[in-house]
């Protein structure tokens, strides 16, 4: 049974801004997918990193390859996206920005266009079924695929920005940070920005990305994913910190993901501490709740216990995240109202 402390974090209304669709698939949904495709011989140990386990970042990226084998048709995507949205809602997330890399799969007839349309259909169905969560979508560019694909993806994202009734709000840059260089993707990212897509970029997830971050921070991005190695203590630089601070760019922080993926040695060494102490905009996120076996309530609880945050501070953290969303102003106001109403009951 939940303790009183657990209950507080579950009831806390939350904003999730960094969630990769295929990394967020729950154990139960995985089970269904594995039963659908028994010939693949995929087991849970290949799709999730359990409590106490750690992997290298490279091994984490192998996990996504396995999951992609399991999720390769419109039918799979619809099921997975609906289930992920419902999971987040059940965890008390009131606003979610989901991100995913559109894929084409010849064998199942899946195209990138249909991929996005199917995710949007899942969002529409959840809304129709009155799931208590507002969901927006970021189209993801996988850096591994290079500049040509990045440009095509931006074009696709631009089309949906215009046609999705405000559901597609931005572009994510993600994928294995040890592959490729951001300079090759700069033109695509500039195009995205110029057409009104908000930019959420994975930056300095590994130490070797310093020059790339210098360059991409000039865009500037609207939010930073991870930013683990931006500050000088871990091999970043004052110039990077200055750019982030001067432009007040919110950072999406994923504690469990970074510890399990071993880019951060332990929870108490997480860079959340560095940025939070400076009063910089930080938002707690899950990254890949399925792969890393976590949820957003746990992430808040972990941050609170590791860094000694009071409940009032935890509340502020979740409320301030509303300001870092890519939602239009009236939606932000609606969320603020919801938080104000719930505060009486929960805090």
Residues with catalytic roles: 205
315 binds ligand 6MZ (CB under 6 A): no
Q: For residues 139 and 173, what is the distance between their CA atoms, to the nearest angstrom?
A: 9
Q: For residues 231 and 241, what is the distance between their CA atoms, to the nearest angstrom?
A: 6
Binding segment for ligand 6MZ (CB under 6 A), chosen from 19-27, 83-91, 127-135, 307-315, is 19-27
221 binds ligand 6MZ (CB under 6 A): no
175 binds ligand 6MZ (CB under 6 A): yes
318 binds ligand 6MZ (CB under 6 A): no
* Smallest gap from residue 5 Cβ to ligand 6MZ (A): 28
Which residues does 106 contact at the CB level (< 8 Å), separation at least 6?
A: none
Which of 12, 81, 123, 140 touches ligand 6MZ by CB under 6 A?
A: 140
Which of 76, 205, 222, 299 touches ligand 6MZ by CB under 6 A?
A: 205
Q: For residues 240 and 244, what is the distance between their CA atoms, to the nearest angstrom?
A: 6
123 binds ligand 6MZ (CB under 6 A): no
Which of 287, 319, 327, 339 touches ligand 6MZ by CB under 6 A?
A: 287
Interface mask toward ligand 6MZ for 51-70; x: CB under 6 A: ---------x---x------
CA distances to 38, 103, 314 from 29, rounded to whole Å, are: 14, 20, 30
Binding segment for ligand 6MZ (CB under 6 A), chosen from 17-25, 31-39, 180-188, 241-249, is 17-25
281 binds ligand 6MZ (CB under 6 A): no
101 binds ligand 6MZ (CB under 6 A): yes
Pair 250, 223: CB distance under 8 Å: yes
Q: Tell me the two tokens of residue 15.
A: 């904003």
CA distances to 63, 262, 286 from 255, rounded to whole Å, are: 19, 11, 8
Cβ neighbours of 312 (radius 10 Å): 9
Binding segment for ligand 6MZ (CB under 6 A), chosen from 1-9, 15-23, 38-46, 131-139, is 15-23
21 binds ligand 6MZ (CB under 6 A): yes
174 binds ligand 6MZ (CB under 6 A): yes
Give buried/exposed letters for 170-199 (b at 16+ CB in 10 A, else e).
Answer: bbbbbbbbeebebeebbebbebbbeeebbb
300 binds ligand 6MZ (CB under 6 A): no
257 binds ligand 6MZ (CB under 6 A): yes
299 binds ligand 6MZ (CB under 6 A): no
Question: Which among 255, 212, 218 is positioned nearest to 230, based on CA atoms?
Answer: 212
Binding segment for ligand 6MZ (CB under 6 A), chosen from 18-26, 208-216, 230-238, 304-312, is 18-26
Question: Which among 219, 200, 202 is positioned nearest to 157, based on CA atoms?
Answer: 200
182 binds ligand 6MZ (CB under 6 A): no
95 binds ligand 6MZ (CB under 6 A): no
In terms of CB distance, is 94 or 289 closer to ligand 6MZ? Answer: 289
Binding segment for ligand 6MZ (CB under 6 A), chosen from 20-28, 32-40, 299-307, 330-338, is 20-28
* Smallest gap from residue 80 Cβ to ligand 6MZ (A): 9
Q: Could you give the dihedral angle defined by the CA atoms of residues 312, 10, 29 and 140, in that order, rounded to the nearest 10 degrees?
A: -20
Question: Which among 286, 296, 320, 291 is positioned nearest to 90, based on CA atoms?
Answer: 296
Coil, helix or strand at residue 11: helix
Question: Which among 250, 249, 251, 270 is positioned nearest to 261, based on CA atoms?
Answer: 270
Binding site for ligand 6MZ (CB under 6 A): 20-23, 60, 64, 100-101, 140, 142, 174-175, 202, 205, 257, 261, 287-288
């Amino acid at each position: 049974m939940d303790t009183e402390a657990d209950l507080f974090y579950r009831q806390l209304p939350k904003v999730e801004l960094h969630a990769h669709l295929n990394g967020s698939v729950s154990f139960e949904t995985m089970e269904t997918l594995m039963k659908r495709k028994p010939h693949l011989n995929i087991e849970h140990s290949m799709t999730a990193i359990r409590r106490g386990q750690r992997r290298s970042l490279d091994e984490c990226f192998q996990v996504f390859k396995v999951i992609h084998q399991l999720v390769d048709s419109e039918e799979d995507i619809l099921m997975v996206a609906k289930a992920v949205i419902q999971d987040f809602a059940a965890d008390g997330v009131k606003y979610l920005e989901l991100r995913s890399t559109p894929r084409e799969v010849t064998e199942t007839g899946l195209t990138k266009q249909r991929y996005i349309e199917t995710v949007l259909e899942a969002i529409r169905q959840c809304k129709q079924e009155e799931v208590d969560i507002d969901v927006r979508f970021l189209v993801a560019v996988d850096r591994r695929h290079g500049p040509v694909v990045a440009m095509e993806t931006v074009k696709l994202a631009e089309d949906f920005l215009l046609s999705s009734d405000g559901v597609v709000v931005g572009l994510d840059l993600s994928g294995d940070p040890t592959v490729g260089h951001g300079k090759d993707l700069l033109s695509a990212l500039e195009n995205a920005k110029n057409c009104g897509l908000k930019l959420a970029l994975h930056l300095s997830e590994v130490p070797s990305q310093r020059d790339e971050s210098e360059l991409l921070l000039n865009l500037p991005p609207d939010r930073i994913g991870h930013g683990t190695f931006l500050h000088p203590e871990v091999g970043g630089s004052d110039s990077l910190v200055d750019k982030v601070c001067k432009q007040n760019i919110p950072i999406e922080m994923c504690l469990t993901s970074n510890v399990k993926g071993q880019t951060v040695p332990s929870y108490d060494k997480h860079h959340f501490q560095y940025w939070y102490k400076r009063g910089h905009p930080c938002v707690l996120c899950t990254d890949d709740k399925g792969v890393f076996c976590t949820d957003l309530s746990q992430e808040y609880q972990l941050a609170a216990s590791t860094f000694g945050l009071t409940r009032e501070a935890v509340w502020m953290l979740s409320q301030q995240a509303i300001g870092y969303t890519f939602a239009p102003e009236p939606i932000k106001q609606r969320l603020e109202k919801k938080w104000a109403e719930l505060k009486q009951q929960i805090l």
